Amino acid sequence: MSQYTVIADVGNSIVELLREQMTPEPVQQPEYIGLSSPVDKGDLSLSIYLFRVQEAMQRRHDMISRGAGVMQYPPMTIELQYLITAHSTAALQSRAADEQRILGRAMQVLYDYSVIKAPHLLGTLADSNEELHLVMSQLPMDTLVALFPNTPYKLSVCYTVGPVYIDSTRTKQTKRVLDRNIVIQG
């Protein structure tokens, strides 16, 4: 199970996977891949931006035993949506092609690792037996453009990641069944 820090842990896990698989080609240094808005990208060659968090359709309903007489409520199940954007400092004539190569490699990596498991999981995810499923998502162009109004659209790809679990802090005291009474009516 995961603490509230799991949202950051998911983003960092994706960044580390991409850094491992994309450097030194097509991205020269690992620190050029990071969590950032495509608008505030700094010197990044590939930005990963969390733009939506939503509760997942599939929920866990089972209480979790936490020792003698204590049951924990089920975790919240969420899905995260990321926008992945390539950035290049190449000359104007080759910039678009360079960005398309970077984005193509990122898509290839995320396809090959569409289920992220240990040892690629970081933070609270590293200690769990959870798996992250990555699926490319299609968003309407007007939704993509509306994410950053007054900013020119930049070619990007969207991914949905889940299920992600955030532990509940609520618990319930229980008592052991000590005896039973069975009545048979005839």
Task: Render pLDDT for 56-115 as a digit per residue (tens, 0 to 9).
Answer: 877 666 766 677 777 777 788 999 999 999 999 889 899 999 999 999 999 999 999 999
Residue in 32, 172, 151 with CA at minimum distance from that of residue 98:
32
Burial label for 113, CB within 10 Å (0-12, 13-18, 19+), is middle
pTM of the shown model: 0.85
Question: In 3-state terms, what secondary structure has residue 154?
Answer: coil
Domains and CATH numbers, the chain: 6-173 (3.30.2000)
pLDDT in tens, 173-186: 777 666 778 888 87
